[in-house]
């Protein structure tokens, strides 16, 4: 498992494109993703972890400042492992490395959004110490979304 370099932008883009393609989600394509990733991975607020050789899994993380803690909050934007590699331990290793990097960066908390129907992903993250409830109140956490692109 290794932290991706800017030179890995195409590899990360190919994996993210495969992720969206597999789940019938729109994707701007590898070329557009790679161009965006070249810029993002060159900045301190975005990093990716690649697993496998050649890479068969990826975690993409963005950081943001947070008023409630000294360190930033990390958002696991995307995590993907190629179907034939699932169950091999690559996803767990990628997630462990991602957490290590977050610790090294002084991250205060890691957030992950999971679709309600994706019970397997929820179980995976729970096995690795993540929770779908607020640690202070025990209430379920929810994710709300509003796209601004295309709005008039």
CA distance 78 to 61: 7
Q: Which of 54, 43, 75, 73 is nearest to 12 (CA)?
A: 54
Residue 24: which domain range? 2-127
Produce one character per residue of 9-27: b if its CB has 16 or more CB atoms within 10 Å, e if not.
bebbbbbbbbbbeeeeeee
| Domain assignment of residue 135, yes or no | no
CA distance 116 to 118: 6
- Total domains present in the chain: 1
| Domain assignment of residue 86, yes or no | yes
Tell the residue number behind the tokens 């950081």, with chain if given. Answer: 63
Tell the residue number behind the tokens 């900045």, with chain if given. Answer: 43
Residue % of the chain over a pLDDT of 90: 84
Does the pLDDT at position 152 exceed 80?
A: no
Q: What angle do CA 66, 95, 32 make, to 5 degrees?
A: 75
CA distance 73 to 61: 10
| Domain assignment of residue 149, yes or no | no
pLDDT band at 144 (very low <50, low <70, confident <90, very high): confident
| Domain assignment of residue 51, yes or no | yes
pLDDT by residue (tens digit) across 78-100? 999 999 999 999 999 999 999 99
| Domain assignment of residue 81, yes or no | yes
Q: Give the CATH number of the domain where residue 120 resides.
A: 3.40.630.30
pTM for the model: 0.92
Which strands make up the sheet holding 109-112, listed edge to edge?
A: 2-3, 46-51, 57-64, 73-81, 109-112
User: What's the rounded mean pLDDT across residues 11-28?
Assistant: 96
């Amino acid at each position: 498992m290794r932290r991706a370099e800017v030179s890995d932008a195409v590899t990360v883009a190919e994996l993210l494109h495969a992720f969206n393609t597999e789940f019938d989600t729109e994707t701007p394509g590898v070329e557009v993703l790679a161009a965006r990733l070249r810029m993002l991975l060159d900045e301190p607020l975005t990093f990716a972890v690649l697993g496998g050789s050649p890479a068969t899994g990826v975690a993409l993380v963005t950081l943001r400042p947070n008023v409630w803690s000294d360190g930033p909050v990390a958002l696991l934007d995307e995590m993907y492992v190629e179907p034939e590699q699932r169950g091999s331990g690559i996803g767990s290793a990628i997630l462990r490395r991602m957490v290590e990097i977050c610790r090294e960066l002084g991250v205060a908390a890691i957030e992950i959004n999971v679709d309600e129907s994706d019970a397997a992903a929820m179980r995976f993250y729970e096995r690795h110490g993540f929770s779908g409830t607020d640690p202070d109140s025990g209430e379920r956490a929810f994710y709300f979304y509003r796209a601004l692109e295309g709005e008039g």
